[in-house]
Structure 1
Amino acid sequence: MTRRGTIAGIARHAFPKAPMEVIDQVDITVEGGVHGDFRGTVKPGGRGRRQVTLIERGDWDAAMAEVGHNIAWQERRANLLVDGLDLPQVPGTLLRIGDVILEITRQTDPCERMEMLATGLTAALSVDWRGGVCTRVKAGGDIAVGDEIGIEEP
């Protein structure tokens, strides 16, 4: 498994069903996840298991090939596009991007919106965690496209 990769894209949406805004850099906080993204805020009594979502470029490309489309990655509605790193499929694994530490909580299940983008996309993203991972923010900081992402060794 590759232990290091790069952040190839950053996206956020301000409210449910809002269009995704692609940005070059962003602040990530323990309280709010990706600044400006409505999903990152930990709700009262919540556990924040879906503060920041990540998807591998290779997995998105494979899903696109499977359904015969070329849809922009941000339409997956993930926050971070990762290039060159196999995201671990193990809840509790820590990822580091500079000062930011993210804890993998679960896989990101594809929603019904994926099927509206392309017939068969939900199934294509359901295989082997191809839809990405959900994370909880353990330490915040600023990140930018091009930053290195790696697996935190225990």
Structure 2
Amino acid sequence: MATRDGACHFTLTAAPPGLPAAIGWHRPPSVPSAACGREAERPFPRTPPLWHSFAMAEIVALYLKPARRAPMQPVPELRLVAGRGIEGNANQGGKRQVTVLAEEAWRAATRGAGASNLDPALRRANVLIRGLDLAETVGRLLELGPCRLLVRGETTPCHRMEEVHPGLEAALRPEWRGGVFGEVLEGGLIRVGDPVVWAG
């Protein structure tokens, strides 16, 4: 931190590798605005740091279903096989090979049901992502790390969500909060932390 006239300060904020640092003026709460000159008279810019615009959606959790109605197992990685689905998963083939859930949608649904601390694994999706809206996306191509998934439909909630918490089934219905399912077009290994983007 450096000082100017003993009152105003500027900070040098560290940025992720490859991006410039962010410099901003600020005034301690105890120092009158006049002490900082004309800079203090202008409101501090609310623009987020430069690297915020580079934020990407990502995989935050992965789950394997070893058998029908068996508890979902959190895993660090999953192997996707084109035309089949997830290696070792109970569901194979067809259109519903992989299920994907957006963390933001799940949190909105659980808040709506009055149970904001429910584990996303209870939704029984294979892939939990953050930072991407899945609503109304049938026919789009979703890239999960090195893999490509063709979105085939909405994963509509069933009565099992009522077993998890009363009101959760209804809370998952608006805005595709229950997630989507799709078919693996390009397989490979996906891991927690992999980027998620729309490819089409």
Q: TM-score with structure 1 length normalisation?
A: 0.89
**Structure 2: gaps of 5 or more residues:** 1-54
1:52 equivalent among 98, 101, 125: 98
Structure 1 residue aligned with 2:167 = 120
- Shift, 1:99, TM fit: 2.2
After TM superposition, list the pairs within 5 Å mapping 1:59-138 onto structure 2. 59-69=105-115, 70-138=117-185
* Partner Cα separation in structure 1 for residue 137 and residue 111 of structure 2: 26
Alpha-carbon displacement from aligned partner over 1:25-74 (angstroms, at most 9, x marks no partner): 111102431222111x11xxxxx211000010000001111111121001
Asked if the contact 2:103/2:128 (under 8 Å) is kept, the reply is: yes
Greater C-alpha Rg: 2
| Larger relative contact order (CA 8 Å, sep ≥ 6) | 1
- Shift, 1:90, TM fit: 2.5
2:173 partner SS? helix
Asked if the contact 1:4/1:151 (under 8 Å) is kept, the reply is: no
Structure 2 residue aligned with 1:5 = 57
Structure 1 residue aligned with 2:4 = none
* Partner Cα separation in structure 2 for residue 37 and residue 111 of structure 1: 20
Structure 2 residue aligned with 1:33 = 85
Using the TM superposition, name which of 24-33 and 141-150 deviates more. 24-33
Q: Does 1:17 align with 2:66?
A: no
**Structure 1: gaps of 5 or more residues:** 43-47
Q: Identity of aligned pairs, percent?
A: 37
